[in-house]
Structure 1
Amino acid sequence: MLSSIAAPMVNQSDLPFRVLVQRYGATLAYTQMLNSDALLGDQDYLGFHLRDLTMEPSSPERPVVVQLCGNDAETIVRAGKKIQNYCQGIGAGDQLARYLHKRLNNFDKDLNLGCPQQSALEAHFGAYLLGQKDWPLVEEIVSAMHNSFTVPVSTKLRLVEPAPKTLDLGQRLEGCGASWLTLHARTVSARRRRHGAADLSQVKRLKDNLRVPVVSNGNVRVWDDLAENLRYTGADGLMVGETLLGNPCLFANQVPDPVTISLEYIAICREYPETAPLTVITTHVKHFIDFQCRRRPWHNKFRTSLGACKTLDDIERLLRVKVERWRGRAPRTVDADADDGDFDEENQPGEAVEDFGSLFLE
């Protein structure tokens, strides 16, 4: 079985979404990138993320990696100690998990060297620490985390420029105590961060030359891409990001009915209240529907109606009544969703199959 990892995504790796993807085959899920300064200086920020980490009881079935960002070793260490007792470790069950299970206790920490967002550029963290002039700082941070926490440290990075230098950085991170590395094999760009295919040869190069496990991130749009990526790179695990936003059931080799999966996500949000703001919930539902239906003639009406929703009830009513009618189906009642997990209704009359594979590119 593959190590199937849900990537950290800004404002999209909320607890309900992590629960959803882990129901459908993700063996590990990351939190979004947490700002170390905010964890220390903003009680509301800290409280929100502690609620995110504690509302779902820790269990090997739903392990989570907390991802930290920052550019100061002492600050990152202090922030990590604020939350380290609330993160679940990696359970056994696949190659990467078996390896990590021997080395992890109750949680793990990840340093983000891959975030391409404009905020990372402005604050000088994430992928904007990949320049060689910053390598001593990166080594200081990873070493400090490794020596300060009672658990291992991992790192997520993008390609260094020139790309062959990525191995040099990977070897340095390994030497500083990183327990595994994830490579999103593209160079950093805040404006065009998924432009072009990922260079999986660089993932293979890391795997062939490092002793620690290597996770591959990039070029996954459909189920068959998972096995092809693993075959070519030899990686110990596969991380998927934006493709999961459209199809959270990718790791289960299923394409869910978009309304059904939206309602399932909303039900999880109700189970874990105040862990996902309405704006985040709305964005997830938009992705679920867009993934298969964005070329439908009613799609613009859906986007407008979704934007006008003020509550979870509003979103649910839109899905159950309007969207189903636009799809040529009868409105759903609450009782009608007893079989929400059954995706056999995908191709009922009134709904044509969409060529959705091109909508997302990892």
Structure 2
Amino acid sequence: MEPGKLSRICAPMVNQSDQPFRELVHRYGATLAYTQMLKPELLLDDQDYLELCLRDLTAKPLSADQPVVVQLCGNDPETLVKGGRKLQQYCHAIDLNLGCPQQAALDNHFGAYLLGQRDWPLVEEIVAAMSKSFVVPTSAKLRLCQPAFKTLELAERLEACGVSWITLHARTVSAQRRRHGPADLSQVKRLKDNLGVPIISNGNVRTWDDLEANLKTTGADGLMVGESLLGNPCLFANYTPDPVAISLEYLSICRMYPDVATVSTMATHVRHFVDSQCHRRPWYTKFRTTLANCRSLEEIEVLLQNKVQRWRGLRPEDDEEQPPERVAEAVEEIGDIFAQP
């Protein structure tokens, strides 16, 4: 993976890292995007699940301009390797999830629940097997160990096992609260100061200013952003789009690649786009209810183009989006900031 591709990364997000959304964030400054967390045992045993994943990854040809990382979870080296081999020709790297805090991860002993020291030998075995078996690089995304200072030791072990880069979401695991307090960016800096592989910082980013502050504090090689991109997929371009315009742009990508994103996924993305700027508007509850009842891409478009525009006091044909060429220029200019060593 070219170092510059690690500078602005769209995080893996459950049911929200679909190919149309990945393309959207790539258009607005993301240099790399992850799939959602995939289960290797289902890739091997569930043909429908495998075909769904392949449709997502093959909707458009693999491109160096819009690289994608497949993220896998699990605790069995053989299953992870076999599952990864099913997808390795359709991605640029494969990531091991060591950060999932959900109850399912606790129940099935994967994700952040592999960070205890008694599981380190297993994690090392998994990473070594993946890095030796795949034709693409292996990376790892983890949370803080407990105690936090142990995170560096684990990261050093992962580097020795062949991991190509490490992403640190600098919070400890909590199944009840995904973001329990602010991320401890000093721990990211410790990894950057002591390891030779690239270190990606994840956490404490909601605005453009947060991006710059995070890089200044951590010295990281890149930044990974998740939920903040759901509200503003143009965050990496330092640009706030009109919520209806960006929703329609996302839906136009979905139309280009049918049978990739479900109607439910489309509606959730649109809800996030509109919520980020309009959640206090008196019509927002009505919008949520109407959106939940949409059964097709076309119905969502009609809702946005007609009802939402009228609720906003605009004519249906009004469009506040900036000219695409100006946005493209801004993305190119901003890329220079992240390309600096």
TM-score scaled to structure 1, two decimals?
0.86
- Give me the whole-angstrom Cα distance separating, in 1, the residues matched to 2:74 and 2:42: 10
Aligned mate of 1:144, from 124, 129, 136? 129
- Give me the whole-angstrom Cα distance separating, in 1, the residues matched to 2:105 and 2:16: 17
Map 1:145-160 onto structure 2 (within 5 A). Answer: 145-160=130-145
Aligned mate of 1:72, from 63, 72, 76? 76
Is residue 61 of structure 2 the alignment partner of residue 57 of structure 1?
yes
- Give me the whole-angstrom Cα distance separating, in 2, the residues matched to 1:341 and 1:329: 21
- Give me the whole-angstrom Cα distance separating, in 2, the residues matched to 1:28 and 1:79: 22
Is residue 223 of structure 2 the alignment partner of residue 219 of structure 1?
no
Please give the per-residue CA displacement for 1:155-213, whole angstroms capped at 9, x wherever unaligned: 00000111111111101111111111000001111221112110000000000011111
Please name the residue that 2:265 is paired with: 280
Is residue 15 of structure 2 the alignment partner of residue 11 of structure 1?
yes
- Give me the whole-angstrom Cα distance separating, in 2, the residues matched to 1:54 and 1:340: 30
Map 1:121-270 onto structure 2 (within 5 A). Answer: 121-270=106-255
Q: Secondary structure at the match of 1:178?
A: coil
- Give me the whole-angstrom Cα distance separating, in 2, the residues matched to 1:113 and 1:331: 46
Does the 8 Å contact 2:245/2:321 carry over to 1?
no
Is residue 45 of structure 2 the alignment partner of residue 41 of structure 1?
yes
Please give the per-residue CA displacement for 1:193-247, whole angstroms capped at 9, x wherever unaligned: 1121100000000000111110000000000111110111000010000000000
Q: Which amino acid aligns with 1:65?
A: V
Give 1:270 shift.
Answer: 0.5
- Give me the whole-angstrom Cα distance separating, in 2, the residues matched to 1:57 and 1:173: 31
Does the 8 Å contact 2:242/2:320 carry over to 1?
no
Give 1:65 shift.
Answer: 0.5
Give 1:342 shift.
Answer: 7.9
Q: Which amino acid aligns with 2:202?
A: N
Aligned length: 323
Does the 8 Å contact 2:242/2:321 carry over to 1?
no
Q: 1:323 to 1:343 in 2, by over 3 A?
A: farther
Q: 1:342 to 1:260 in 2, by over 3 A?
A: farther
Q: Which amino acid aligns with 1:125?
A: F
Q: Which amino acid aligns with 1:83?
A: L
Give 1:271 shift.
Answer: 0.5
- Give me the whole-angstrom Cα distance separating, in 1, the residues matched to 2:32 and 2:129: 25
Name structure 2 gaps, 5 residues minimum: 328-341
Q: Which amino acid aligns with 2:285?
A: N
Name structure 1 gaps, 5 residues minimum: 88-106, 345-362
TM-score scaled to structure 2, two decimals?
0.92
Of all paired residues, the percent bearing the same amino acid is 68
Please give the per-residue CA displacement for 1:37-74, whole angstroms capped at 9, x wherever unaligned: 00000000000111111111111111001111111000
Please name the residue that 1:350 is paired with: none
- Give me the whole-angstrom Cα distance separating, in 2, the residues matched to 1:237 and 1:131: 26
Q: Secondary structure at the match of 2:280?
A: coil
Please give the per-residue CA displacement for 1:85-118, whole angstroms capped at 9, x wherever unaligned: 111xxxxxxxxxxxxxxxxxxx211101011122
Does the 8 Å contact 1:264/1:340 carry over to 2?
no
Does the 8 Å contact 1:55/1:272 carry over to 2?
yes
Q: 1:279 to 1:343 in 2, by over 3 A?
A: farther
Give 1:148 shift.
Answer: 1.2
Give 1:337 shift.
Answer: 9.5
